Structure formats: structure tokens, C-alpha cells
Amino acid sequence: MRYNSSREHHVLEIRSPNHHLLLFLPYLGLVWFGFIEGQSKAKHSMEDGSGGDLVPEAKDGETMDKDLLCPICMQIIKDAFLTSCGHSFCYICIITHLHNKTDCPSCASSLTTNHLYPNFLLDKLLKKTSASQVSKSASPLEQLRLALLQGYQVSVKEVDALLSLLSEKKRKLEQEEAERNMQNLLDFLHFLRKKKIDELNEVQTDIQYIKEDASLVERHRIELYRARDKYLSKMQMHSGELQESKSWFSSSINKDSNDLVFASGKTHAGVPTGNFQYKNADGKSQASSFGAQGKEASSVLTSQHTSQSSLAVIRKKRVQSQFNDLQQCYLQKRRQLVNPLQDHDKTDADFMQREGYSSALSDFQSVLSSFTQYSRLRVIAELRHGEIFHSANIVSSIEFDRDDEIFATADVSRRIKVFNFSTIVNEPPEAHRPVVEIPTRSKLSCLSWNKHTKNHIASSDYEGTVFVWDVNTQQSVMEYEEHEKRVWSVDFSRIEPSMLVSGSDDCKVKIWCTKQESSAINIDMKANICCVKYNPGSSTHVAVGSVDHHIHYYDLRNTSRPLHIFSGHQKTVSYVKFLSNDELASASTDSTLRLWDVKQHLPVRTFRGHTNEKNFVGLSVNSDFLACGSETNEVYSYHKAISKPLTWHRFGTPNVEDSDDDAGSYFISAVCWKSDSPTLLAANSLGTIKVLVLAA
């Protein structure tokens, strides 16, 4: 027999009768094996009373399936070919095998392509098995469809019965579907009704709050008007008394003058008349001065009323522009008052009788007053920090000292500069010189004054070093070099003045004590640290912001895991600052500020308006306001209860004709509020520092 590698040639070139016998004998064995196995199953099923079904059990089915697998690819055999040693394989599998080896994959007998023969019987069995498996796995409906397609004979009567059954089934399914749809609709309407009733109850409750508060405010307003009218009446009465005094005084003077002149004519010995005229005139001027004072007071009140009216219009416009936020703030405060005071109604009633307002209304009045009284940031002083257009002028940090008398700046020019605030505000620009200047080894990133030791200030730099400086001696008190990369932030504890915290690009937060040379606590994190801050009311709680977009709030008594992780920012958290013991503000390069409740572990508000996508633009807070920079070279101010900016101020761009820098690349780099004051320090990337104050 001549060998040809194609399958067709294999089929055509089988000539020897012995080859046919070789093909027949294995399959005769397979048929007898199946028959005997089936008879055995039938016998056992008859014996145990399970009926005469010859359906093989799952185990036997699995065995049968394994027998139909190709030993090479372990899949159902396709295009079965038989070897001279009696094993069957997929044609492609065995041919590929024999291209590399010359043995049987099953028994390792010597084998070449000349010993391969098509296995028609196995192919036929495989096709039947495959069709049977498809039939078994098909749904009853699919089986019926296949039977009809294959020519299964049914009578008209059977078709009518089948159609009747299908029609009944269809009606039942449609009924069930309609019932489900109705139930879903009914459930939705009940839920909607409940929700709207809850909303209606809430609105009615809010209306009742508003009605009560409006009544209180109206009563208080009437009292104020009465007090004003009483004051005006008093002033008018005083003015009328002055007028009467003036007329009586004038007539008295004239009468006395006439009598004196008549007497002098008789006796020819009197004072010249001119003296009495002068006295009379003097008397008139005195009376006129009293009247003028009354008119002046009245005119002052009138002008004040006019200016207050115009101011009221301006404030009304501000309220309307931020009405939604103010409404949310009022309702939130008013609703929060209800639950805590349900068990203390008498206390609340006594408070309202004593103060006139509920605590919620009083809080909101404070918010509304502080929000509407300011509309702009006014420049009261300006300081040029360095040479114009020099990249080393970028002020990275600016901080007031404990008493707000001096402030320090840190920049990339490797110097800490300390200025007297009073001098900057009250003296001419030529007097704006630092009172202390401390050179450092590396570019500076952050400053923090010790709130107990007035002359101590901490700094962090790009080399990973944390210093504690004595401003008076201009010498370092402590130097810590454990960080392996740039330190972005450092902060002194307000409660424990010897403790400070730092965060670095080496993904470590370190707690230092000025009484020892090494770190006291080390916290390993998975991301670069950009900012750290002690809680002002605790020496054991620290907030940490990092490039993982989160704020990790730690209790230093257990640093194995954060007390809470605040999530919400979409990019790097660049700053964290505490407004109070329970309120934390954060800034991110996603152009937002966020306010968090660290006691309840809840987000409070998100502030949007400024632009911050890549630079550190500063963040500063006080009890009511937040301030931050923008990459538009503007400084923004927010009220903590309002999500939109309160006001903003743009730094002027100097003449850039001789500069290679793009004027649009300037940005605010640092900000700092003066404690409990509307005064703000702001610095930009050109080294310009401005003293700004919130103004009406």
C-alpha cells in the first residue's frame, strides 16, 4: 500500500482484505459490549422493580463519554481514525502527533501514517450520540419542534388537542403576566403615595417651623422698631425743647437790652449799646447751635436709614443668589433641633422665653448675618516677596504665629522669612522688610508655629528633613532626618506642644517629640502623603491626606488601622485643616473643597468655584470661613454653610513683556486667615503677598 498524507487518499488506498477485517473486529467488540451492558442494566432494573427502561445512569454516561474522547485533545473525537494497534484519535490530532513522533500516544507502539485507517463506524456512533445528547438537553418544546421537523406523523385530532392545550396555556400565561403587572403597578403607586405623604408631612412640618420662626422674628423686629421710634421721639423732644429754649432766651435778651438802653438814656451813664447787641447775638448763636445739633442728629439718622436701606437691598440680592444653599442650611439646622429636644421641651421653652429664639434659628441667623455682611475682599497692604519673575519666589507656606503679631513665609529660595504684621499694614512699602531671615539647606514645603512656645517654628523640606527652629536665635533646635523622600507637610500639636507630625513622599507618617531625637510613632501607608494635621482638641488624633484620593483619620493610640477613611475626592488630597474639633476641611486637585464631620464620620458639604488641577494652591480655615487659591491667580473665600464662593479676588498680572513665563501660568500658592478675624494673607507664584480683608 502506497502512503499519502491526505485523508482522501487514506480512504481510497485501503486495498487489502485483512484491513477490512482489522476495522471490523474492534467495532464488533464494541457492539457486543454495548449489548451485554444493556442486557445487564435491563436485568437489574427488572429485578429491583424499577421498570424496563434502559437509560444508563450518570456514572455510566460519564464512562461512555470518556470512551468517546480523543486521548490527545480530550475532546469528542472528530473525523475518527483508527491505528493498527486499535486506538482511535481525531484525524488532525494523530497526524500532528506523527509529524513529531513515531509512536502511538496511548500504548507507545511504533506507528506511522501508513498505519492509519478511517473509522466510519465510530463516526456514525458519535453523530448519533451527539444528536441524542442534544435531544436530551433540549426543552420539551424544542424536542417537539425537532420531531415535527424530522417528519413525525400526527393526526388532525392530535393537532387540535395540542392547539387547544397551547391556547389554554397562553391564556393562563397572559393572565399571570397581567396580574404581575397590576401588582407591580399597585406596589409602585403605594410606595409613591407613602413617599409623597412623607414629603407632605415634612413640608407641613417645615412650614410650621417657618411660621413659628417668622412670628418670633416679626415680634423681635417690632421691638426693634419701637426702640428706634422711641429714640427718634426722644431726639425730637430734645430738639423741640431746644427750640423753645431758643425763643424764650431770645425774647429775654431783647427785653433786657431795651430796659438797659432806656435806663442808660435816663441816667446818661450806661454801657454802650454795642456791647448788649453782641451779648444778644451771642445768645442767639448759642440757641442756634443747640438747634443745629438736633437737626444734625436728625439728618444723621435719615442718612443712616437711607444707607441701611441700600445695604438691605444688596443683602437681599445675595440671599436670593444663594437661596437654595441657605434654605438647605436653615431646614437642616431646624430639623436637627427636633429630635434632641423632644425629651427636653421645658428646657427649650425656657430658652425661647429667655432668648426669644430657638438655638437652630439663632445658629442660622448667625450664618445668614456672616454670609450677607461680606461681598468682596479688599486689599489693605501688599508685599513683594522677591525679585519679579523669579521661579524661586513661589511662596509654599505662610503662617501666623501664636499671637497673630508676626507671620512667616517659606519658599523654594531656601529661606524662612518672618515679618511684623503691623509694619506691613501700617508702614509704607519701603519698610516692608523681614525682621528675621533664616537660611535653610533645601527648598521648603511647609511651616508650622508652635502655639505654646512663641519663638519656635517647624519646617519641612524637599530633602526629607524636618527642622524645629528658634526664631530669636535663628538656629535649629531639633533636626529629624528619618524620612527618605520629600516631606510635604508638618504640624505642631496644639494640646501637646512638644509633639509634631510630618508626612512624606516615602508613604510614611511620623510623630516626633522635641524631647527625643528619633520618631516616636511611625505609620506606613500605601500612597504618598501630601498633608497632615493634628485635631486642635486632641493630641492623639491626626488627619492624613494622600494621593490615593482619601483622608485617613488616625487615633495614635492604635495606628494599625485608621479610625475612619473619608472618601469622596476624585484626585490627590493636597490639604487638610480643622475648623473645630469636629469639622475637617480638605482640598484636592479635583478643584473642590470638602467639609467632613469627624465625630459622626460623615460628609457635610462640597465647595466648588475655584480651579485646581495640578498645583498646591493653599487652604486656610477659621470658625466660619474657608479660603483657598486658584490656578486662575485668584484667591477664593467660602462660607462653611454655602457651597458656592462667597467672594474672590484676582491678583493683578504685572508686565510680562520681558518675561519668558506665560501670564496664565501664575497661581495662588499659599493662604492664611488671621485668627478669629476677616483678615487674610494670600501669596501667589510670583512672590506677591497681599493682606486682604472681607468687606461689605
Higher pLDDT, 54 or 414: 414
Buried b or exposed e, range 355-391, using 16+ CB within 10 angstroms? eebbbbbebbeebbebbbebeebeeebebebbeeeee
The arithmetic mean of pLDDT across residues 628-652, rounded, is: 93
Q: Pick the most confident of 25-29, 136-140, 169-173, 428-432.
A: 169-173
Both 14 and 119 in one domain: the answer is yes
**Long-range Cβ pairs for the range 239-244 (8 Å, 24+):** 239/291, 239/294, 239/295, 239/297, 239/298, 242/287, 242/290, 242/291, 242/293, 242/294, 243/291, 243/294
pLDDT at 684 over 80: yes
Both 434 and 548 in one domain: the answer is yes
Q: Determine, yes or no, domain membership for 333.
A: no
Cα angle value 450/454/455 (rounded, 5°): 95
Q: Determine, yes or no, domain membership for 504.
A: yes
- Domain end residue (candidates: 257, 286, 321): 321
Both 237 and 282 in one domain: the answer is yes
Contact 647, 696 (CB under 8 A): no
Both 114 and 187 in one domain: the answer is no
Which residue segment(s) compose the domain that 421 sits in? 374-695
The arithmetic mean of pLDDT across residues 239-246, rounded, is: 64
Query: Can you tell me the distance from the alpha carbon of 543 to that of 497, in angstroms, rounded to the nearest whole number?
Result: 18
The residue written with cell numbers 407641613 in the block is 204
- Residue 664 pLDDT: 60
Both 495 and 610 in one domain: the answer is yes
Task: Give how many domains the chain has, as a whole number.
Answer: 3
Confidence class for position 358, pLDDT limits 50, 70, 90: confident
Both 138 and 199 in one domain: the answer is no
The arithmetic mean of pLDDT across residues 261-289, rounded, is: 41
Q: Which pLDDT tens digit goes with each residue over 573-592? A: 999 999 999 999 999 999 99
- Using CA atoms, how far residue 453 sits from 17, 419, 438, 509, in Å, is 112, 18, 18, 24
Confidence class for position 359, pLDDT limits 50, 70, 90: confident
pLDDT at 180 over 50: yes
Q: Determine, yes or no, domain membership for 337.
A: no
- Residue 389 pLDDT: 47
Half-sphere exposure for 639 (CA within 13 Å, toward CB): 23
Which of 61-75, 93-107, 162-176, 435-449 shows the lowest per-residue confidence on average (mean pLDDT)?
A: 61-75
The arithmetic mean of pLDDT across residues 299-328, rounded, is: 73
pLDDT at 135 over 90: no
Contact 691, 424 (CB under 8 A): yes
In CATH, what number is assigned to the domain containing residue 134?
Answer: 3.30.40.10
Global pTM?
Answer: 0.64
- Residue 431 pLDDT: 80
Both 23 and 103 in one domain: the answer is yes
Both 302 and 402 in one domain: the answer is no
- Residue 330 pLDDT: 87
- Residue 683 pLDDT: 93
Q: Determine, yes or no, domain membership for 49.
A: yes
pLDDT at 472 over 90: yes
- Residue 594 pLDDT: 97
Both 83 and 15 in one domain: the answer is yes
- Using CA atoms, how far residue 267 sits from 161, 263, 277, 489, in Å, is 155, 6, 20, 100
Q: Determine, yes or no, domain membership for 100.
A: yes
- Domain end residue (candidates: 86, 119, 144): 144
Contact 614, 667 (CB under 8 A): no
Both 119 and 198 in one domain: the answer is no
Q: Based on the number of CB atoms within 10 Å of its own CB, is 204 exposed (0-12), middle (13-18) or buried (19 or more)?
A: exposed
In CATH, what number is assigned to the domain containing residue 459?
Answer: 2.130.10.10
The arithmetic mean of pLDDT across residues 129-145, rounded, is: 72
- Domain end residue (candidates: 89, 124, 144): 144
Higher pLDDT, 37 or 685: 685
pLDDT at 652 over 90: no
The arithmetic mean of pLDDT across residues 497-522, rounded, is: 95
Both 601 and 554 in one domain: the answer is yes
Q: Which pLDDT tens digit goes with each residue over 426-448? A: 988 888 889 999 999 999 999 99
The arithmetic mean of pLDDT across residues 596-601, rounded, is: 95
pLDDT at 338 over 70: no
Both 296 and 378 in one domain: the answer is no
- Residue 466 pLDDT: 96
pLDDT at 316 over 50: yes
The residue written with cell numbers 435806663 in the block is 263
Half-sphere exposure for 51 (CA within 13 Å, toward CB): 4
Q: Determine, yes or no, domain membership for 136.
A: yes
Q: Determine, yes or no, domain membership for 332.
A: no
Q: What percent of the chain has pLDDT over 90?
A: 46
Q: Determine, yes or no, domain membership for 365.
A: no
pLDDT at 682 over 90: yes
The arithmetic mean of pLDDT across residues 110-127, rounded, is: 87
Contact 394, 687 (CB under 8 A): yes
The arithmetic mean of pLDDT across residues 394-408, rounded, is: 93
Q: Which of 578, 610, 612, 616 is nearest to 595 (CA)?
A: 578
